[in-house]
Amino acid sequence: MSAALPTAAFWRGRRVLLTGHTGFKGGWTALWLHHLGAEVTGFALPPAADQTLFRDARVDLAVHSSFGDLRDLDAVRQVVEASRPEVVLHLAAQALVRRSIADPVETFASNVMGTVHLLEALRGATGLKGVLAVTSDKVYANEEKGLAFVEDDKLGGKDPYSASKAAAEIVAFSYARSYFDKAGIALATARGGNVIGGGDHSADRLVPDIVRSVRSGATLELRHPEATRPWQHVLDCICGYLVYAEAMITRPGLPRALNFGPDPSRPLAVSAVADAIFEALGRKPAWVHRPVPGSIEMQALAVDSTEARNVLAWRDRLAGKPGLAWTAQWYAAEAAGADMHAFTLDQINRFPTL
């Protein structure tokens, strides 16, 4: 079976509400949806200083932007009423682990109550066909046994970010069983791996830290160089989300949750990713190990995406070195002053040919 891709026939003219369009994954998703012909309304906080993809790639050209806060139920209701969505992709979140430890209240309010507010506002929406809530690979109760998690494994979280995303899973399931199933509206969750790709400039993320190190000449500090994560390119991840959202509407009865990540039998350590990105940017790897005393960050994490591969015919086209190369090429083009709207669209256009 050939690998699945989102189809223009489904998305063309479709009214889509996308939360988090000012963020990293949200910006790429907005541009791809616009490329497919969807009518996209974005709802998110205004882009933060380190969220430059929205500006650099001119994401505003792809969406009707509505700036607001998911913690404000009235604002969420207003954007739902105005956009009249047929499909909702919920990507907005406080997505940084260390920030969640510093400010757990903000994290739980955004990730848990934000999800509640969105689903509550959608509960009476007319014309709604499906909702896909994006959570995280970190929703599982991780006992560091080195096993790849499958969708039926126990949920949990040692830090506020992980716990908030696990709670959002429970919120989505409860709304599906209590309300959306009865209305014939598909509601599911997608658990993506650690996403890399051009345009991410967030604090405390590996690739943005490497890029800042290269551009400033400072030595990169790695907290856990031996840690492994399910690294995947942003286009592989978003492809999974769009294919899943499309399929859950056109093929009722799909699983309520799916993992999206690389082959867990080939884990990549943080140090290996750092070395590869440095080399792809034409620089000699230069980093030091700077441990954080008392850190509760997980050392090993992997998800098993067999279900998504079997049910959706999804596959990661940029696994391993190709994804690292595409990521480095984006940042190199940005540093050279290229038209990043055109460059980003070019990567989206080339992705289906891989």
In three-state secondary structure terms, 42 is strand
d(CA 103, CA 268): 29
In this model, does residue 107 exceed pLDDT 80?
yes
In this model, does residue 196 exceed pLDDT 50?
yes
Q: What is the mean pLDDT of residues 282-301?
A: 86
Sign, CA torsion 210/273/237/151: negative
Residues 161, 175, 241, 244: which is the catalytic one? 161
Q: Return the structure tokens found at 190.
A: 């997608």
Average pLDDT over all residues of the chain = 95
The pTM (predicted TM-score) of the whole model is 0.96
Q: Quick one: pLDDT band at residue 136, thresholds 50, 70, 90?
A: very high
Q: Return the structure tokens found at 76.
A: 């969420």
Catalytic residue list contains 161 = yes
Q: What is the mean pLDDT of residues 212-223?
A: 94
Backbone angles phi, psi at 293, to 5 degrees: -55, 135
Beta bridge partners of 65: 42
Q: Return the structure tokens found at 252.
A: 């009722």
The confidence score (pLDDT) of residue 2 equals 66
Q: Quick one: pLDDT band at residue 15, thresholds 50, 70, 90?
A: very high
Q: What is the largest CA-CA distance in the chain?
A: 58
Q: What is the mean pLDDT of residues 85-95?
A: 97
Kindly provide the b/e burial profile for residues 267-283, where b requires at least 16 CB atoms within 10 angstroms of the residue's own CB: bbbbbbbbbbbbebbee
> What are all long-range contacts of 182-186, with beta carbons under 8 Å and residues at least 24 apart?
185/128, 185/129, 185/130, 185/131, 186/129, 186/130, 186/131, 186/248, 186/249, 186/252, 186/254
Q: Quick one: pLDDT band at residue 216, thresholds 50, 70, 90?
A: very high
High-pLDDT (> 70) share of the chain, %: 99
Question: Which domains are assigned to the chain?
Answer: 8-353 (3.40.50.720)
Q: Quick one: pLDDT band at residue 299, thresholds 50, 70, 90?
A: confident
In this model, does residue 180 exceed pLDDT 90?
yes
The confidence score (pLDDT) of residue 143 equals 87
Burial of 119 (0-12, 13-18, 19+ CB in 10 A): buried
Q: What is the mean pLDDT of residues 305-316?
A: 97
In this model, does residue 1 exceed pLDDT 60?
no
Q: Quick one: pLDDT band at residue 147, thresholds 50, 70, 90?
A: confident
